[in-house]
Amino acid sequence: MSRPLSGRRVVVTGIGCVSPLGPDTESTWNAAVSGKSGVSAISRFDAAEYPVRIAAEAPVEFDVGKMSSKEKRRTDRFVVLAVGAAEQAVRGAGLNLEDADLTRWGVAFV
């Protein structure tokens, strides 16, 4: 028997995506529905000594408006990708962070 998690409602208002298929939600979706693959030769490091030289890498460069180039260099790549996706979701939702009650919303990374 399943029990309800709580009486709260969850509403998805914005989506962000940085993936091997594209640097944003729209390009990722378009590539996926057209059957494109995000797999290509590894470009982030020299893979010559490895038996596998292909991977599905996220794009090297994409816009992360809230982070300076210096911040991006000092931050782990997975965090930069997450911030980029979160910024897209906020823009897509039409949220104004200046007026938002930040205790009433959150972000899910999957």
pLDDT at 21: 94
Quote the distance between the C-alpha of residue 44 and its chain's center. Answer: 18
Residue 12 lies in a domain: no
Q: Which helix (H) or strand (E) holds 41?
A: strand 40-41
Contacts of residue 88, defined as CB under 8 A and 6 or more positions apart, other chains included, come to 14, 15, 16, 17, 18, 24, 25
What pTM does this model have? 0.75
Residue 90 lies in a domain: yes
Tens digit of pLDDT for each residue in 16-70?
Answer: 999 999 999 999 999 999 999 999 999 989 999 999 999 999 877 777 777 888 8
Residue 3 lies in a domain: no
Task: For residue 70, give its domain range.
Answer: 25-32+59-104
Whole-number Å distance between alpha carbons of 110 and 90: 16
Residue 104 pLDDT exceeds 80:
no
Residue 96 pLDDT exceeds 70:
yes
